[in-house]
Structure 1
Amino acid sequence: MLFPDYTDTGLVYHVVPITDLKRIVSKGIKYDDKATYAAKYLEFHKFIDEFRPDKLPQWVERKKAIFASLNFDENHSWHSHTALLGIKINEDRCWISNENLANSVYESFILKDVPNFHYAKLFLENRGKKLIKDYWDTSLSFIENLKVRKDKTIGYDAEVLIFHGVKPKDIEIIFIISDHKIMTVEEWNEYFRRSGQSDGNWEIT
């Protein structure tokens, strides 16, 4: 894995566009503070919440979650012009679920009303509902996961659902991801400090 275990770092990881960094470092993170929340994900979250079992705590609602990861594979594919943040959390207000199951339903949900994708609704009504049921049935509290470590099960792509706002003091910028480099803040500043001194020797690497 890319980072030491959560039990050593006390951090979970959240990827954001660099265009959001100024706001995040001054105001923190809320579940609905990104433009993409309503445009791309809210209706999908609501759909999954429709199948949420009553046995779950009332505060566990996907539509009110900040999403994070416990770790990444070393060969993880990153999106350019993003920042990887390390976040300190309140473990009592976090939940763990299998992102693979949610992702298996997302495309069909988005395409269900698009012409020529006739089988999207059929998939959602049958296999899709089963996948969402499994998504909730295999989820568990963050605290419980620290005991059983379901996140280390093969095929279980653990996502962390954070159900509290994150304050700036609990956020650490781990990496800046550009087209060509992945750099810490210190490396980023040094790279552009050196490149800004002379036009003659600067190369994009």
Structure 2
Amino acid sequence: MSGLIGKKIGMTSIYDENGKNMPCTIIQAGPCVVTQVRTEDTDGYAALQLGFDDKSDKNASKAAQGHFKKAGTAVKRKVAEFKSFDKEYKLGDTVTVDMFIEGEFVDVSGTSKGKGFQGVVKRHGFAGVGQATHGQHNRLRAPGSIGAASYPARVFKGMRMAGQMGNEKVKVENLRVLKVVPEKNILVVKGAIPGHKNSYVIVQK
């Protein structure tokens, strides 16, 4: 799939031609620089490595500086590989948001917001006990029974319990492109995408 690396700017809403208010997310998509061209002969597969968002040389290793110097570009904060593109690109070429057209559907993947260690009510939507009377003490948000005792004498894998919530890779599929603003490298998609503001996302066609 071809695509771009972008940055989540935030959310807003726009009106369509029928006056319906639609929630949407604004993404700064590109411009991305081709930092490496993978080929069947040398790598065993064909792909393009794209780099996005400059950072200073002092914050990069010598190896990273040399890698980006081959492409004639500054050191990038984020790199990702994409396996197919509509046209041929060479090392150092720039890929822009022009590759997307309004009305088409894209997949957006990123890292969701980390919520820390959470209980079963917030993490899995448990309802809790529902009442505080008849001897219920501090049990309103408790998970309740989690299994039998002597057999199987363990908790089954996958049991819904308290634990780490968020901070994992999430892909949202089939989001409609509402607007493309090439002069500002802006992509507006319908609905929500994973991650906090200014987090990196991968937009794929």
Per the normalisation by structure 2, the TM-score is 0.24
Higher Cα radius of gyration: 2
